[in-house]
A and B are shown apart, each in its own frame.
Chain A
Amino acid sequence: MKIYLALTVASLKMYFRNKQALFWALFFPLLIMLIFGIMNFDKYASPDVGIYDAAENDASRALIHALEGNDQQKLLNVSVDTFDEVHHELEFGSSRAVIEIPVNYGTLGEFAEIKVTYDERFQQERAVISTILGKVTDAVFKELAQVPDEYRVENSIGISESVITGQGQGFKAWLIPGIAAMAIMQTGLFTVVFTLVRFKSQGVLRRMKATPIGAAHFLAGQLTTKAIVVVLQTYVLVIVGAIVLGVSVGAGRLGAWFDLTILALLGGALFIAIGLAVSGWAKNEETAAPVANIISMPMMFLSGVFFPLSAMPDWLTRWSQYLPLTYLADGMRAITVEGASITTLGSELLGLGVWIVISFAIATKMFRWE
């Protein structure tokens, strides 16, 4: 225990004296977060609207198409999804309204009531969406005006409106947990790859092997340090991000910090295991660094760190949703943005768990002391 403590303290000292590692673990992610946060992409897009289409017929599809506008004039930024998903997006995400198309929509002779729910915090967007919806329904059904009077649109369609108070804090709040997850990946992967490969190639590990404690204890101290760093780094990134970008964390729930700590440790374990596998395989830093980059770079862009997965083509998200970083970023986002508790994150925890098992299996197979 005393030995383990001494090794951990020593390796913490080494870590915090390594300016380069600190830069990549803290200042670089902070910088990215602030740059993207200040750009605030929310402002420039047309309002996001989620549509739940229960009818799924030609008429409802025509309506959705019309709401999207055309190339000359884009009206609404529409995403069609399940009932739960569109309401979830309205409450926690960047969506400003939900439009529910009833199942009897487009059926002649029946009265179809379209329900619209707005986030009351965004009155300006509400006015825009309401106007567009009114004009579009009018226009779509005037084209079908050849039908007899009793079936005329004016008679058979109604729009009912309601409001909720959403909790979504827009892109800024969305960005912070993603960047924190990315930073965990970078720390786990790169500090292991660089320090361990260097310790190995310089002979530090051999020298440890000559002592009675052996190199396994030494590794344990190293890993403890990385765990501490990963958690501290997550706190710093989330706190500084929340203060500077002016968003709240975990809907004010104090347990969110505990949940974040658990997720950070799981993510740290996962990427450290991947780092161990890479450094076990690589003989020196020159080969380890590119391999680590090949693993981390695609994940940075495909795991929804900078932009939502929904902004990517389906064929890409179909498999990028299974990336380790996607699980970590999604889980951390659910906690910080939606105020979710870690106990509700079944699929993210399962995904992380499976990846941890796979990575540790590969790491133990690949790792060589010399």
Chain B
Amino acid sequence: MNTAIDPVIVAKDLRKKYGDITAVNGISFEVHRGEVFGMLGPNGAGKTTTVEILEGMRNADSGDAIINGINVKDHPTAVKAMIGVQLQQNAFFDNLKLSEIVDLYAKLYLAKVDPVEILSRVGLDNRKKTKYAELSGGQKQRLSVAVALVNDPVVLFLDEPTTGLDPQARRQLWELVRTIQKSGATIVMTTHYMEEAEELCDRIAVIENGEIIAIDTPDALIDQLLATGFKPEKRVREATLDDVFLNLTGHDLRD
């Protein structure tokens, strides 16, 4: 594992405009080493733009993004070399086998890895000879996490990793995120699913109109809401429909 300094991510007053539209309007936060940091917010709130600025994929109009002590704006290549990225829309090469894809990306980072070992971390080692085009949605998502791991990243960015997955595949991915966190990486993820954020994230930032409107641990945010006298409209039941679905269809992953 690459050694990380703390805080591993510092965002200082990031701003980004597309024409007249302000996508990011002064976002600042820090992420600590080993944390799973969640970014929540409605579509178009500015989550993805913020993440892409941190990843060196986009330039901010102003403000600084510092990853592991390196300013992204000044050294985007150095930053890209030590982070792992899973984009919202991940596409790889239809005609390549999974082991070939992992191997190719490892070479792009000049990293020496065993493709099968990387694939086994996301449970795809039995698919190493399968071509990308033949994978299911959940498998493609897991492959894109595997590819993001080839350089043993200091920070792993996951942009809506479970969107479009069935409940089994989603739970499998949660498990994967926990495993990666245990291995020492810091993870930044965006999501639309609140139970996902509650399940995985040590801290979350809620983003709206390009600004952070709340940032804390999930428990603290819930406590703050309850302290205002908030009562849920419907009494929370002991089990959810998700549980019913998984109970009926099993936890086994479908391909």
Residues of the A chain whose Cβ atoms lie less than 8 Å from the Cβ of B55: 210
A265 to B105, CA, bound (A): 29
Chain A interfacial residues counted at CB < 8 A:
21
Whether B96 and A10, one on each chain, are in contact in the complex, defined by CB atoms closer than 8 angstroms, is yes
Measured between beta carbons, the chain B residues less than 8 angstroms from A14 are 93-96
B82-110 interface with A by 8 A CB criterion: 85, 87, 89-96, 100, 103-105, 107-110
Q: Mark B143-170, 1 if CB is under 8 A from A, else 0.
A: 0000000000000000000000000000
B80 at the A/B interface (Cβ < 8 Å)? Answer: yes
On chain A, the residues within 8 Å of B180 by CB distance are none
How many B residues, CB 8 Å from partner?
26
- Assuming the contacts A7-B104, A211-B108, A212-B80, asked whether A13 and B96 have C-beta atoms less than 8 A apart, the reply is yes
A287 within 8 A of B: no
> Is A18's beta carbon under 8 Å from chain B?
yes
Tell me whether A6 is interfacial, beta carbon within 8 Å: yes
Q: List which B105-125 residues lie within 8 A (CB) of chain A.
A: 105, 107-110
- On whether A202 and B110 interact (CB within 8 A), knowing A13-B100, A14-B95, A210-B57, the answer reads no
Query: Could you tell me the distance between the alpha carbons of A119 and B98 in the complex, rounded to whole angstroms?
Result: 62
Given A13-B95, A203-B87, A206-B57, is A6 in contact with B104 using a C-beta cutoff of 8 Å? yes
Interface residues in A189-212 by Cβ distance below 8 A to B read 199, 202-204, 206-207, 209-212
**Interface presence of B135 (CB below 8 A):** no
Residues of A within 8 A of B93 (CB): 10, 14, 204
Whether A212 lies near B92 (C-beta < 8 A) is no
Q: Are B109 and A211 in contact (CB under 8 A)?
A: yes
Chain B residues near A204 (CB-CB < 8 A): 91-93
Distance in angstroms from B151 CB to nearest chain A CB is 9
B81: CB under 8 A from chain A? Answer: yes
Flag if B91 contacts A207 (CB, 8 Å).
Answer: yes
Could you tell me the distance between the alpha carbons of A203 and B109 in the complex, rounded to whole angstroms? 19
Q: Kindly list chain A residues whose C-beta atoms are within 8 Å of the C-beta of B57.
A: 206, 209-210
Q: Is B179 an interface position by the 8 A CB rule?
A: no
Q: Which residues of A contact B105 (CB under 8 A)?
A: 211
Is the C-beta of A2 less than 8 angstroms from some C-beta in chain B?
yes
Contacting residues, chain B, for A211 (C-beta < 8 A): 80, 105, 108-109
- CB closest residue in chain B, given A202: B91
| Chain B residue with Cβ nearest A214 | B77
Compute how far the CA of A7 lies from the CA of B103 in the bound complex, rounded to whole angstroms: 11
Looking at the assembled complex, report how far the CB atom of A229 sits from the nearest CB atom of chain B, in whole angstroms. Answer: 14
A198 to B: closest C-beta gap in Å = 9
Nearest Cβ distance between residue B159 and chain A, in whole angstroms?
A: 11
Taking the nearest CB of chain B, how far is it from the CB of A305, in angstroms? 30
Whether A212 pairs with B77 at a CB distance below 8 angstroms is yes
**Are A210 and B92 interface neighbours, CB within 8 A?**
no
Contact A207 B108 (CB under 8 A): no
How far apart are the CA atoms of A204 and B104 in the complex, in Å?
13
Does A17 sit within 8 A of B, measured CB to CB? yes
Q: Is A213 among interface residues, defined by CB-CB distance under 8 A?
A: yes
Partner of B95, one of A3, A18, A210: A18
Query: Would A212 and B81 count as touching, CB distance under 8 A?
Result: yes
23 residue pairs A–B, Cβ–Cβ below 8 Å: A3-B110, A6-B103, A7-B108, A10-B104, A13-B95, A14-B93, A14-B95, A18-B95, A202-B89, A203-B91, A204-B91, A204-B92, A206-B87, A207-B87, A207-B90, A207-B91, A207-B92, A211-B105, A211-B108, A212-B78, A212-B81, A212-B108, A214-B77
- What residues of chain A have their CB less than 8 Å away from a CB belonging to chain B? 2-3, 6-7, 10, 13-14, 17-18, 199, 202-204, 206-207, 209-214
Top 10 A-B residue pairs of the complex, sorted by shortest distance between their CB atoms? A202-B91, A6-B107, A203-B89, A17-B95, A212-B81, A210-B85, A14-B95, A203-B91, A212-B80, A204-B91
